[in-house]
């Protein structure tokens, strides 16, 4: 017990600290054997509620996690009693009671099964669109309404999808464990994609006005650090963490004093966060030493080549072009191809860049993709085709939903007309 | 925290449904026995399931042209010729297995010859309380 008894506020703050650090760990541990995530969440919610009434009176327990786990176990037994009657449930109840006794007696740490839970949430049998929301809910304890607003989905819809996904984990028998070596690369990619989706949801609020979205970026990095800590020898886990840290380092530079959007190439490098960049470089370096390049490591390396501008005054465009070549070979993503064309314009001039963009024109997906038209407009403008540039700017402006980026494109268009 | 009770492995039943293009399957069935590579592959697969101690049962089905559907509407039997749905891929056989989890069921489904010449559907069995 702590020496001084906290007031209600202190207890609330203390439970919040424990909740942040332990929620996912406790859900993972409680559900790993039963595969019943919903029951674990319910029991844990009751345990946290009990902590809020208990801790202000009796003080914060010396092992808050073990306390919460013991209470949650008891709640699970109660719920089990309500569900089953008769002898069928007796064996199950005895097993739970034994574990409860063991939990109370043993001082050792609760095993960390969060990674197993993340692999269950991002299992190929789970709809890809619900994987990131599922991780937010089970590992971080976000409620459905908060997740829904971040992912622009109606709260009831999101709630139903989360319930269905948890049901599938239990009904289909999705395991809580690390995948076999042969499946590891593919399965890990799904988990990392979900974590990155959480980060990018937070990053897509360039104005930084929506606290909820900004929080998601922080949560994404938190999960990235967790993945990197739990899988220190998986280069792509490190690559993703490095990528998010580089992006986060530039967060403050995406706006000028007037709140206007500033593209990467024009950002004031003094506004980049040197601490985060140093951490990103160190993590990327560690991943490189493992000698297994992958998508996230290449994307992080591209960020690293941009960061060179802090010292050299110019991004290492030759390296960026090479890295986009690699990424294109790996992903065949049209988004990568656009960035590659922009890099080519830097190394070989705007007409070479335009030629690379032209080769993408057959991809119908790009007709409604703002960055394609914005890149086209820039390169057309630089090569002196101002009428064509003007039309491309107009299309890009029409496709952009963020008003701040729209303003930026409009300013660009206006200055292109003048010259 | 004491050691987890991991000695009793979870046990789940899954039905592995083999869907295949019947035109291809007919051609294969019409081939001479020594040219038919499919049968030995299925025999070996079934043997592997037995060796692993996970096989509960399984059968190959006659072609869907031999299927008949029955339903009772307003107290009257409706019997129709043909399968439930006329699709290119038809159910051609099934295995019932007992394994710890979905990943092992998926691994067995991938090993089935049906995964290479058709599509495997993996369905957990609804457990019945006795």
What does each of the 419 residues of chain A score in pLDDT, given as a tens digit?
444 455 667 777 777 777 767 888 999 999 988 899 999 999 999 998 898 888 888 888 888 888 899 999 888 888 777 766 555 556 666 665 665 555 555 445 777 888 899 999 999 999 999 999 999 999 988 889 888 887 878 899 999 999 999 999 999 999 998 888 888 888 999 999 999 988 988 876 655 555 555 578 888 999 999 999 989 999 999 999 999 999 999 998 998 888 888 989 899 999 999 999 999 999 999 999 999 999 999 999 999 999 999 988 999 999 999 999 999 999 888 889 999 999 999 999 999 999 999 998 888 888 888 999 999 999 999 999 999 999 999 999 999 888 888 999 999 999 988 75
ipTM for the complex shown: 0.75
Q: Which of A95, A111, A173 is facing B101, going by the closest CB pair?
A: A173
CB contact under 8 A, A172 and B10: no
* pLDDT for position A76: 83
Question: Is A281's Cβ below 8 Å from some Cβ in B?
Answer: no
CB contact under 8 A, B102 and A111: no
Q: For residue B124, which residues of chain A lie inside 8 Å, CB to CB?
A: 171-173
Do residues A192 and A240 make contact, with C-beta atoms less than 8 angstroms apart? yes
Q: Alpha carbon of A51 to those of A8, A69, A96, A276, B105: distances in Å? A: 11, 11, 21, 36, 41
Pairing of strands B12-21, B89-99: antiparallel
Burial-class residue A149 by CB neighbours within 10 Å (0-12, 13-18, 19+): middle
CA dist A337 and B7 (Å) reads: 52
What is the token pair recorded at A69? Answer: 């786990």
CA dist A123 and B59 (Å) reads: 30
- For the entire predicted model, the pTM comes to 0.80
Task: Enumerate residue ranges in chain B where pLDDT < 70.
Answer: 1-8, 33-35, 130
Q: For residue A106, which residues of chain B lie inside 8 Å, CB to CB?
A: 1-2
CB contact under 8 A, A175 and B4: no
Q: Tokens 């492995």 identify what position?
A: B9
CB contact under 8 A, A175 and B100: yes
CA dist A45 and B119 (Å) reads: 42
Angle in degrees, 0-180, between the axes of helices A155-171 and A128-140, rounded to the nearest 10 = 90
Q: How far is B53 from chain A (nearest CA, A)?
A: 19
Pairing of strands B55-60, B68-73: unpaired
Q: Which of B1, B102, B106 is facing A103, going by the closest CB pair?
A: B1
Which letter does DSSP use for residue A255 in this model?
B
CB contact under 8 A, A99 and B5: yes
Disruptive mutation site among A30, A172, A182 for chain B (greatest number of B CBs within 10 Å): A172
CB contact under 8 A, B2 and A102: yes
CA dist A36 and A28 (Å) reads: 10
Q: Alpha carbon of A378 to those of A48, A233, A302, A372, B111: distances in Å? A: 54, 41, 21, 10, 52
Q: For residue B1, which residues of chain A lie inside 8 Å, CB to CB?
A: 102-103, 106, 108-111
CA dist B19 and B12 (Å) reads: 22
Cβ contacts of A225-233, under 8 Å, gap ≥ 24 = A226/A114, A227/A115, A227/A118, A227/A191, A227/A192, A227/A195, A228/A283, A230/A112, A230/A114, A230/A115, A231/A115, A231/A188, A233/A290
Q: How far is B64 from chain A (nearest CA, A)?
A: 28
* pLDDT for position A215: 75
Do residues B124 and A171 make contact, with C-beta atoms less than 8 angstroms apart? yes
Q: How far is B12 from chain A (nearest CA, A)?
A: 7
DSSP codes, A87-154: GGGHHHHHHHHHHHHHHHH--SPPP--HHHHHHHHT-TTS-HHHHHHHHHHHHH---HHHHHHHTT--
CA-based nearest residue in chain B for residue A168: B124
* pLDDT for position A211: 56
CB contact under 8 A, A109 and B103: no
Q: Which secondary structure element, helix H or strand E, spans residue A215, and what is its range?
A: helix A211-230
Q: Which of residues 19-38 of A touch B (CB under 8 A)?
A: 33, 35
Task: Cite the DSSP H helix spans in chain B.
Answer: 22-30, 38-51, 102-111, 114-117
Q: Which secondary structure element, helix H or strand E, spans residue A229, and what is its range?
A: helix A211-230
CB contact under 8 A, B102 and A179: no
Question: Is A88's Cβ below 8 Å from some Cβ in B?
Answer: yes
* pLDDT for position A209: 55
* pLDDT for position A78: 81
Q: Which of residues 118-147 of A touch B (CB under 8 A)?
A: 123, 125
């Amino acid at each position: 017990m702590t020496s001084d008894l906290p007031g209600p506020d202190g207890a609330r703050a203390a439970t919040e600290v424990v909740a942040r650090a332990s929620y996912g760990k406790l859900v993972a541990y409680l559900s790993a054997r039963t595969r019943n995530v919903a029951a674990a969440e319910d029991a844990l919610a009751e345990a946290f509620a009990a902590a809020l009434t208990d801790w202000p009176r009796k003080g914060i327990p010396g092992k808050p996690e073990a306390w919460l786990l013991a209470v949650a176990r008891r709640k699970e037994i109660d719920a089990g009693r309500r569900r089953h009657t008769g002898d069928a449930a007796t064996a199950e109840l005895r097993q739970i009671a034994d574990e409860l006794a063991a939990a109370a007696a043993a001082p050792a740490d609760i095993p960390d099964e969060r990674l197993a839970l993340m692999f269950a949430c991002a299992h190929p049998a789970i709809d890809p669109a619900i994987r990131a929301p599922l991780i937010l809910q089970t590992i971080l304890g976000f409620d459905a309404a908060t997740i829904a607003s971040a992912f622009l989905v109606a709260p009831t819809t999101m709630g139903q999808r989360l319930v269905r996904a948890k049901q599938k984990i239990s009904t289909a028998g999705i395991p809580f464990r690390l995948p076999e070596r042969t499946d590891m690369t593919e399965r890990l990619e799904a988990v990392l994609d979900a974590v990155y989706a959480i980060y990018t949801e937070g990053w897509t609020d360039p104005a930084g006005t929506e606290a909820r979205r900004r929080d998601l970026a922080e949560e994404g990095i938190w999960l990235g650090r967790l993945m990197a800590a739990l899988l220190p020898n998986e280069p792509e886990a490190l690559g993703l963490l490095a990528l998010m840290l580089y992006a986060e380092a530039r967060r403050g530079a995406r706006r000028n004093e007037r709140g206007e959007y500033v593209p990467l190439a024009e950002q004031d490098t003094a506004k980049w966060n040197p601490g985060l960049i140093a951490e990103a470089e160190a993590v990327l370096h560690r991943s490189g030493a493992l000698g297994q390049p992958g998508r996230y490591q290449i994307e992080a390396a591209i960020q690293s080549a941009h960061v060179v501008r802090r010292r050299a005054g110019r991004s290492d465009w030759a390296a960026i072009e090479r890295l986009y070549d690699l990424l294109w070979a790996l992903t065949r993503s049209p988004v990568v191809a656009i960035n590659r064309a922009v890099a080519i314009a830097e190394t070989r001039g705007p007409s070479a860049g335009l030629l690379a963009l032209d080769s993408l024109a057959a991809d119908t997906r790009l007709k409604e993709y703002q960055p394609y038209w914005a890149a086209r407009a820039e390169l057309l403008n630089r090569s002196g085709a101002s009428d064509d540039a003007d039309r491309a700017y107009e299309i890009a402006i029409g496709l952009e939903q963020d008003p701040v980026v729209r303003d930026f494109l409009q300013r660009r268009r206006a200055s292109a007309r003048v010259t | 925290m004491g050691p987890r009770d991991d000695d009793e492995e979870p046990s789940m039943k899954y039905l592995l449904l083999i869907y295949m293009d019947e035109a291809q399957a007919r051609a294969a069935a019409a081939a001479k026995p020594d040219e038919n590579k499919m049968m030995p592959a299925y025999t070996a697969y079934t043997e592997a399931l037995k060796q692993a101690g996970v096989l509960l049962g399984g059968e190959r089905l006659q072609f869907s042209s031999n299927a008949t559907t029955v339903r009772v509407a307003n107290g009257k039997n409706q019997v129709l010729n043909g399968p439930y749905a006329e699709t290119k891929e038809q159910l051609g056989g099934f295995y019932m297995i007992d394994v710890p989890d979905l990943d092992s069921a998926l691994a067995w489904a991938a090993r089935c010859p049906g995964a290479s010449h058709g599509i495997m559907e993996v369905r957990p069995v609804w457990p019945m309380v006795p």
